[in-house]
Amino acid sequence: MSSKRVLVTGGAGFISSNFIRHLLAHTDHEVVSLDALTYAGNLENLADVMSHERLSFVHGDIRDPELVAKLVGEVDVIVNAAAESHVEKSIEEGASEFVTTNVEGTQILLDAIRRTPVERFILISSSEVYGTAEYAPMDEEHPLNPRSPYAATKAGGDRLAYSYYVTYGLPIVIVRPFNNYGPRQHPEKVIPRFITQALCGEPLTIHGDGHASRDWLYVDDDAEAIEAIIAADIDALAGEVVNVATGIDISVRDVADAVLAAVGSDAEITFVEERLGQVDRHIGSTDKLEGLTGWRARTSFEQGLERTVEWYRENEVWWRALTARDSVSSS
C-alpha cells in the first residue's frame, strides 16, 4: 500500500491515539494529529510517539475554518474522530458543545473537502446512533433512534456526512464502532472504571441491574478496521456505512465479574440508579465490513481485558492524574 498523509482529528483521544500508534507501527503513512485538548483529549496518550518522524501534532479545533482549510490542503485522507463524547455530560450540562463539535465541526470539515478534494473522508460515528437493538445483530440498516443528546449529535454528523456524499459525490465512508475498550481510555468509561475501582479495592458500581449488554470491541481491532478502510478501494466504499463490532454481546454484570477475576480482587459489586439515556442492548453485525475489506475482530474479550487490566496496573500515575483532574474540575 502506498504511503499517504493522514489527518486524524481528535488525535489525542482514546480511539484516535491508539489508531495513530497503530498507523505508525504498521504502515508507512504520515500522520497529522489535530486536537483541541478538551477533557477528552490528553497529550499523555501520545507521549511515547510524539517524537516520531512521521507524526506531527497541531493544537487546534475542527471548528476553526481557516485552520481546517489549511490542514485539509496538506493531506490525502481524513479520519474525523474529534467529538465531545461524554453521554452524561451531554445530559447534565446541555448539548451545546456537542452540537458545535459533533455536527458543526463535521460540517466545517466537509465544506473544506468540497473546496479541496481528498482521497477519502472517514467519519467516526458511533453505534449509539442506533439506540437499543430492535433486532440482533444490528446491521447498518437498523433504524436510528439515539437516546441521549450525545447520540443525537453523532447521528446528526453521521447523516450530514452522508448527505455530502449524495449531494456532492464526495468520497465519504461512515464508520459506526461499537463499545471500544482498551489502554488509555478515560476512567469515566465503564471498563476502566471497573478496573480502577478493583485495583483500589473499592466496590464496583453498576448503574441499573447489570443486565444491559454491549458489543465490546478491543481498541486495537478498531484501529485495524480503520486501517483496512484506508487501504480498500474507495469506489467500493464511498457512501457506505459500516459497523465495527465483534458480533458478541456481554452484559455489564458479566463484565464486572470478569474484571474482578482478571484483577484478582474480591471487591463487592454495588448497584446504583440507572443513568439517563442508556440503551438496553447493543450487538453489531460484522458482515458488511468483512465483505468490503476482509476485516474481522481478532481479539477475544478475555484477551483484550487481560491486556487492558495489565496496562492500567502498570500506568496508575496516568489514570490517577485524570481522576484527580476531574475531581477538581467538578468541585
* Residue 101's CATH number: 3.40.50.720
Average pLDDT, the chain: 93
Mean pLDDT of 202-219: 96
Q: How many domains does the chain have?
A: 1
Give a yes or no: residue 12 inside a domain: yes
Closest C-alpha among 320, 168, 181 to residue 259: 181
Mean pLDDT of 273-297: 92
131: left (phi over 0), alpha (psi -120 to 50) or beta: left
Give a yes or no: residue 237 inside a domain: yes
How far is 174 from 243, CA to CA, in rounded Å?
9
Cross-strand pairs, 79 = 8, 122
* DSSP annotation of 129: G
Q: Give the model's pLDDT for residue 139.
A: 98
How far is 247 from 163, CA to CA, in rounded Å?
28
How far is 323 from 188, CA to CA, in rounded Å?
8
Q: Give the model's pLDDT for residue 327.
A: 59
Q: Give the model's pLDDT for residue 329.
A: 53
In tens, the pLDDT along 297-329 reads 999 999 999 999 999 999 999 889 888 776 555
Give a yes or no: residue 51 inside a domain: yes
Closest C-alpha among 304, 193, 208, 296 to residue 251: 208
Q: Give the model's pLDDT for residue 103.
A: 92
Give a yes or no: residue 223 inside a domain: yes
Q: Give the model's pLDDT for residue 110.
A: 98
- All residues at 6 or more sequence positions from 146 whose CB lies less than 8 Å from its CB, including other chains: 128, 129, 130, 131, 152, 154, 155
Residue with cell 489502554: 183
In tens, the pLDDT along 72-107 reads 999 999 999 987 766 666 556 767 778 888 899 999
In tens, the pLDDT along 102-132 reads 899 999 999 999 999 999 999 999 999 999 9
Give a yes or no: residue 113 inside a domain: yes
Residue with cell 433504524: 143
CA distances from 293 to 94, 193, 288, 290 (A): 38, 33, 9, 5
How far is 213 from 279, CA to CA, in rounded Å?
9
Residue 69: exposure state from Cβ atoms within 10 A (0-12, 13-18, ≥19):
middle
Give a yes or no: residue 212 inside a domain: no
Q: Give the model's pLDDT for residue 38.
A: 80
Strands 77-80 and 250-251: unpaired
Cross-strand pairs, 78 = 7, 121
Q: Predicted confidence band at 331 (pLDDT cuts at 50, 70, 90)? A: very low
In tens, the pLDDT along 32-85 reads 999 998 867 789 999 999 999 999 999 999 999 999 999 999 999 999 998 776
Domain membership of residue 119 as a residue range: 5-182+217-247+278-300
Give a yes or no: residue 41 inside a domain: yes
Mean pLDDT of 11-20: 96
Give a yes or no: residue 241 inside a domain: yes
Contact between 213 and 190 under an 8 Å Cβ cutoff? The reply is: no
Mean pLDDT of 188-192: 94
